[in-house]
Chains A and B, each alone.
Chain A
């Protein structure tokens, strides 16, 4: 633990000003469940933190016509338990319920959640482990190490760390957008453009500028929401990150033909992963065990198995299959 400045702005505008004026490396603090954790581990050492968790402006949840909107400061538990979200977008609600623990969900925000960092043991373990993400150029200990939960999709020779979150995986399936604000004003970007693959620079995880703040997450209304689920397979029944997960949403016409399909993959890729080719494979098809499985196979066609976690390719295919079939049942309800 190093000393750091602790700034408490009383408005979003104040937070933006504080961020613009702050020393490089200054961080926004929301629930603190990622940031404080990484500070205690010595992975993050911001000179200052700007605490936004009391800003009521950021906690609004609205479920009006046309879209859902979640303030970045809304708590995971509140969004998970929101009656409209539960009814119309089960995948969104379930992705939050199946994350972390009740205590963490009560504290953590849906904005901070998007920017949580990998659970790679070498990244978190200490300076003695080579890690290009924590310490550029120091190598990647995971490549020849304990890689059972590392990424099958989107990895590079520099880093194979899995993006661990669940919520972003469900959001990406629904074409969510982010409103962000900075000294240059507000802008909107698709959630799909937030996270980046490690490439040769694993330090860079997202496209937000250092002086930008997430205001809210917006999800365009879609009937596919009702026919959705978030399926998460993990090493224990609760309080664990995904070995494989899938957000699936489908719309079926009266004949049971798939007219819309969304698939997000979690626990298997370096970023929240949208399986667009798999989605396309189902359009115009009946949703059966066979077509669902085929979609799963398409989703993992480019997977590069890790040494001790190769089973997660097949597990991922089955996870997608089951998620699609559950989504189909939801759609038919």
Chain B
């Protein structure tokens, strides 16, 4: 059954401004915090002079150092902890990177806190540092040695098969550092209610915040509530505990006042994670018809000195095609930055840019049409595990897309197509894949005598539309109006609130909600299907408002995963499940036009055809595609976090200088969904969509630029000077 199109359930709140985001709260007696940050690339603080800051009228606290007993390290998210990095500022004199907080100021007003922060003066001992992956002093480790639990993908004997291949492609690609820059700044309001700590913060991972701050402050996690009903854009920047929360909670406790911190835009470039620099050498071996015999993917991936943020590029590049021999080798390059992390399509974006660009080179080297070459290398089984894919409609994405896009009108010769105004025209294609991960979830559902159904479940509303998808599922199942469904997400008071990311949010929440619906129906004495008169059924039970609670885990996940999730730890599983491997798939088609003289590159149209399983909410799914494609265009043509190696840190730290795509950069974005439920995965049949829609866009753009100009683009972003 297709899902009807009912819009966003929270649209009204959002457009009228009544939706309350993390730091929108202004409790009585609120105090305001601000960080002073390090202005050197690396070293130690010898002394920090806070006298001038303390003298600012209205300043209540200036804190430069916490005790290890009152504030413990939070642990790194990917190393069994809770935070985006293990390093907790304000615990020692170490300055690991430019922009690291060195003092926390709390004052009666934001103005006083800001002024005081500017007056903090530190003396430093400066140490040599390296920010670029090729800079002197950057050190590297092989991931499979340093992090054996994140092994490289290896199938067959790729080196030998490559060496023996009649056609060999060997290309190296560079992806820049990029920042998530969501509209909503990283911010929180923390408040003690007796011994209970309440944290209002827009986060994708309320569970980790609860447990992380509890561990840091030695609290019982049950005494911490984290409330995050809406998020003004996360894109990975809000997926873990941030190092400001512990210090903020301690300051609030000392002052006995609620404290708010909104980190200014400039500081957010250093206080949170970012997409690391990565370099990809791709070698493809093929027969003269373009059939792949071997692929080798060597990646250098930036991380910090204090954490090894793992690379997982080869997870998708080994599965795009029927490659019998695959060799992955990922190196982690340690540099003096805050720990990088997940930014929308963290691994898949850069990996697909590199791999799908190389596949285009192969198509030209073998004289094959890029769509046909991809179809000829399709596979129904996972080449890595030999398991079947739970569903893979990638060929359909390609053929449907080619038809819809008018691919057959493309003249394959580079530089051969021109628009009426003399612009060079290029058409490019690329595919993308995103692993399907599913996390355990808890859902609580109750029905009231007023006919309303309330559901609380694991999941966070980041604008992707999870609230709408849940409300729609409940409304459709029970036959009640969607406005009678109240959805509570992002709230540790109703569910553990495991991390929502990696596009698994909907695929995780919906099966739990589905299960809760079955239980609720039983409690209401209703049949397994059909419309339920909720108000009447509730009255008939004789209870005020019957409530059910259910749990769900991903396919083949042991129930213990729920305990991990309840402890705030990462517990998503996939994409390899006991009986199948699960990915969502997409084909992207892009047209670029390059001005004949001043060489501005424009994208008049883009098409995405996605296989994301069942489409859970058509309106929000469509918006996910638009958002993803815009992100892909921005990744390909605009965004780069600039580093001056003499100073460290990032230099273009405002929305004016960090060039995200603007409306005027975006033209037509067309899309189509295969909309086939993946019933091996769950009864609901939903795979992921949010990240998928940008994966492959950058390669499609780069391939289109090649088609327009004959010049290969192996480095992002592609700017005017690259096509002059």
Enumerate B626-680 residues with CB–CB distance to A below 8 Å.
638, 642, 644, 646-647, 651-652, 656-657, 659, 661-665
- Contact flags B75-110 to A (C-beta < 8 A → 1, else 0): 000000000000000000000000000000000000
Whether B644 contacts A145 by the Cβ 8 Å rule is yes
A236 pairs with B647, CB closer than 8 A: no
Are B118 and A42 in contact (CB-based, < 8 A)?
yes
CB of B18 within 8 A of chain A? no
Which residue of B114, B644, B657, B724 contacts A1 across the interface (Cβ within 8 Å)? B114
B719 CB → nearest A CB, Å? 7
B600 within 8 A of A: yes
Contact of B652 among A121, A237, A319 (CB under 8 A): A121
Please measure, in the bound complex, the distance between the C-alpha atom of A83 and the C-alpha atom of B305, giving whole angstroms: 59
Q: What is the number of residues of chain B that contact chain A, defined by CB distance less than 8 Å?
A: 30
Bitwise, A117-157 to B at CB < 8 A (1) or not (0) is 00101000111110000000000010011100000000000
B403 within 8 A of A: no
In the complex, A315 Cα to B719 Cα: how many Å?
A: 12
Contact A141 to B114, CB < 8 A, known contacts A237-B662, A311-B720: no
Chain B interface mostly:
loop
- Tell me whether B638 and A235 are in contact (CB under 8 A): yes
Contact of A314 among B602, B646, B724 (CB under 8 A): B724
Bound CA–CA A311/B722 (angstroms):
9
- Are A233 and B652 in contact, with the CB atoms below 8 A? no
Q: How far is the CA of A144 from the CA of B656 in the complex (A)?
A: 23
Q: B597–A322 contact, CB under 8 A?
A: yes
For the residues of A in contact with B, the DSSP-based class is loop
Q: Does B40 count as interface, using CB distance less than 8 angstroms?
A: yes
Pair B642/A146 contact, Cβ less than 8 Å:
yes
In angstroms, Cα B664 to Cα A229, docked, is 20
Say whether B454 faces chain A, with CB atoms less than 8 Å apart.
Answer: no
Residues 40 to 68 of chain B near chain A (Cβ within 8 Å)? 40
Q: Contact at A236–B719, with CB atoms within 8 Å?
A: no
Select which of A238, A318, A319, A321 is within 8 A of B662 by beta carbon.
A238
A2 within 8 A of B: yes
Chain B residues within 8 Å of A236, by CB: 638, 659, 661-662, 664-665
CB within 8 Å for A237 and B664 given contacts A125-B651, A146-B651, A319-B598: yes
A318 touches B598 (CB 8 A): yes
Task: Give the nearest-CB partner of A144 in chain B.
Answer: B646
Give complex CA distance A314, B720 in Å: 11
In the assembly, what is the distance between CA of A141 and CA of B652, in Å?
Answer: 15
List residues 310-327 of chain A with CB under 8 A from any CB of chain B.
311, 314-315, 318-319, 321-322
Most chain B CB within 10 A, of A3, A237, A318, is at A237
Residues of A within 8 A of B638 (CB): 235-236
Residue A243 is within 8 A (CB to CB) of chain B in the complex: yes
Contacts of A1 in B (CB 8 A): 111, 114-115, 118
The CA-CA distance from A240 to B638 in the complex, in Å, is 12
Residue of A nearest to B717 (CB): A235
Residues of A within 8 A of B662 (CB): 236-239
Check A237–B651 contact: CB distance below 8 A.
no
B724 touches A146 (CB 8 A): no
- Which of A125, A244, A321 has the most chain B CB atoms closer than 10 A to its own CB? A125
A127 proximity list for chain B (CB < 8 A) = 39
Contact B644 A141 (CB under 8 A): yes
B28 CB within 8 Å of chain A:
no
> Would you list 6 pairs from A and B whose C-beta atoms are within 8 A, ordered by A residue?
A129-B647, A141-B646, A233-B720, A235-B719, A236-B665, A237-B662
Interfacial residues, chain A to chain B (CB-CB below 8 A):
1-3, 42, 119, 121, 125-129, 141, 144-146, 233, 235-240, 243-244, 311, 314-315, 318-319, 321-322
